[in-house]
Amino acid sequence: MAPRVVVAEKIAESGIQTLRECCEVDLAVGVERSELLSRLADAEGLIVRSATQVDAEMIAAAPNLRVIGRAGIGVDNIDLAAATEAGIVVVNAPQANIISAAEHALALMLAQARNIPRADATLRSGVWERSKFEGVELHGKTLGIIGLGRIGSLVAERARAFGMHILGHDPYVSQEHWRRLGVEMVDLDTLLSTSDFITVHLPLTADTKGLIGKDALARVKPTARIVNASRGGIIDEEALAEAIREGRLAGAALDVFSKEPLTQSPLFELDQVVVTPHLGASTAEAQDKAGTDVAKAVVKALRGELVLSAVNVDLGTSVPEEVAEYLPVAETLGRVFTSLAGGLPQSLTVRVAGRIGMGETRPLTLAVLKGALSGVSSRMITYVNAPTIADQRGIALEQETSEVAEHYQSMITVRGEVGGREVSVSATRTRKGPTLVEILGHDVELPVSEKMLIVRNADVPGVIGRLGSYLGDLGVNIANMVVGRAPDTGDAAMMGLNLDDPLTEDQLAELRRLEGIEEARYVSLS
């Protein structure tokens, strides 16, 4: 049965079509809150924009909810703590409006520098005044960008085309990134005191709220102009109005405010201020991309895949494409481990080696944990709640990395002690998909399948034949078989078999009694 997704606010038709390819879509745009709560009772997905308040009450009213999608960037209207506690992944569309937002910041900058709104209004009123609206050029001026994330970086690239000298302040950006952008990184005081134009591109957090306040504004040049097209509340609007009135700042251009919608403000009385009603993402292209991008993310989450843009999943600073390609390997390996071990250890070690061990490995560790817990829990395990459930079970998670993987470009190993016995299993990625390359200390190359039989046996003639005959008598077909030896012993071997048919516990018990069979485990991933 297709999962049901409730769409509570209008998104692009392309996004609706993306959902309908694999989901039942319930369009609930404009319905009363009580009606929305009722429709969420059996929904697995919810898509909103900024108007719907997804609070703890709404989350509690949707016990089957697995994903909340925000068609845009900000998630201020979603209770992330409540969603995370419920194991619900929250996704957004972080790339949808970045070009539109960057272009709007530059539009505001130009509009303020050239007095465009006032000149337009005066001419429309029947008055031709040229000398009154003398402006300033951007060329040759210093632009200070506070926040060099995606949008700030796009502003830097475009401002360079105007011939501006660009300063930047962002303690979380690498030297390589700002060098590539051609930005001179400075401290905040230097940026404020030397910039002719200052533009803000930061999220609103406890640290950034009121960042540009009375003290910061006291350090800017009286000829400087400030632009904010990111989040309201970062600039103290009262302090900004005061600085402009007193001639300590040449002007400002704002698209966002601490309280929205806003129709009255001291800033609106100042000719040196250009304002727009939060239009940064208001382009046809951005709206279309926001709806489509969030729909794709919701579908991905409903399939149980890791959404790299998930807001409430800690994936580190970035996820390289090669690491993302290994996520299915990691999750499958976690499931294989718990099946072989017959449970979970108190301490689970994940070792990432080779090329994928050279970068951020947290997503792979998280995928292993999700797979491992899925094999032993009746609860729905997601990338969001897997760490919490592991903590509740008292499982310590350890990560190891190495830039070298013997015999393979990349490899993941999971090991832990269960029932007094050390269990380890390793896998890599081949053209056949996830492939086991070490099982319980034995070197093998067994492609992962839904039904696998792992047999430890005496390394003597006749064992393989007896096993094959036994499975043949049961009518169980062997799709593939590999054999391997433990590298440090010569008296034990291992067989790994991909089966077309399942084995029962009774059949497995009988198999273990065959001559030469020391251990046999059936692994089912279906």
Task: For residue 278, indicate whether it is catalytic.
Answer: yes
Shared domain check, 43 and 25: yes
Shared domain check, 165 and 264: yes
pLDDT on residue 1: 86
Active-site entry in 118, 177, 219, 278: 278
Shared domain check, 88 and 107: no
Residue 78 is given by DSSP the state B
The answer as to whether 465 is a domain residue is yes
Strand order in the sheet with 165-169: 184-185, 165-169, 142-146, 197-200, 225-228, 251-254, 273-275
Shared domain check, 259 and 236: yes
Task: For residue 184, indicate whether it is catalytic.
Answer: no
pLDDT beyond 90 at 383? no
Shared domain check, 492 and 379: no
pLDDT beyond 60 at 317? no
Shared domain check, 88 and 20: yes
pLDDT beyond 90 at 306? no
Shared domain check, 30 and 67: yes
Q: 489 pLDDT band (50/70/90 cuts)?
A: low
The per-residue pLDDT of the chain, averaged, comes to 93
The stretch 277-299 carries a mean pLDDT of 93
Residue 193 is given by DSSP the state H
Q: 510 pLDDT band (50/70/90 cuts)?
A: very high
Q: What is the pLDDT of residues 8-32, one digit of tens each?
A: 999 999 999 999 999 999 999 999 9
Q: What is the pLDDT of residues 60-113, one digit of tens each?
A: 999 999 999 999 887 889 999 999 888 899 999 988 999 999 999 999 999 999
In angstroms, the CA 307 to CA 70 distance is 13
Angle between helix 505-512 and 463-474 (nearest 10): 150
In angstroms, the CA 434 to CA 371 distance is 13
pLDDT on residue 487: 63
The stretch 486-504 carries a mean pLDDT of 84
Shared domain check, 25 and 104: no
Shared domain check, 61 and 159: no
Q: What is the pLDDT of residues 318-356, one digit of tens each?
A: 677 788 889 999 999 999 999 999 899 999 999 999 999
Q: 424 pLDDT band (50/70/90 cuts)?
A: very high
CATH number, domain containing residue 66: 3.40.50.720
Give me the helices (H) in 144-236, please.
150-161, 175-181, 188-194, 214-217
pLDDT on residue 29: 96
Task: For residue 177, indicate whether it is catalytic.
Answer: no
Reduce the secondary structure of 29-65 to three states and give it as a string: CCCCHHHHHHHHHHCCEEEECCCCCECHHHHHCCCCC
Using an 8 Å Cβ cutoff, are 154 and 209 in contact? no
pLDDT on residue 318: 61
Shared domain check, 231 and 116: yes
The stretch 41-56 carries a mean pLDDT of 95
Angle between helix 284-302 and 13-20 (nearest 10): 20
The residue with tokens 């194991």 is: 87
- Percent of the chain predicted with pLDDT > 90: 77
Active-site entry in 260, 325, 403, 515: 260
pLDDT on residue 176: 82
Q: 490 pLDDT band (50/70/90 cuts)?
A: low
The stretch 256-276 carries a mean pLDDT of 96
SS3 label, residue 488 = coil
pLDDT beyond 80 at 445? yes
| Chain Cα centroid distance, residue 482 | 38
Active-site entry in 231, 335, 415, 456: 231
Burial 118-131 (b: 16+ CB within 10 A, else e): bbeeeeeeeeeeee
pLDDT on residue 491: 66
pLDDT beyond 90 at 378? no
Domains: count for the chain: 4
Domain that holds residue 167: 98-275
Q: HSE of 507 in the Cβ direction (CA atoms, 13 Å)?
A: 14
The answer as to whether 308 is a domain residue is no
Angle between helix 98-113 and 150-161 (nearest 10): 50
Shared domain check, 269 and 222: yes
pLDDT beyond 60 at 470? yes
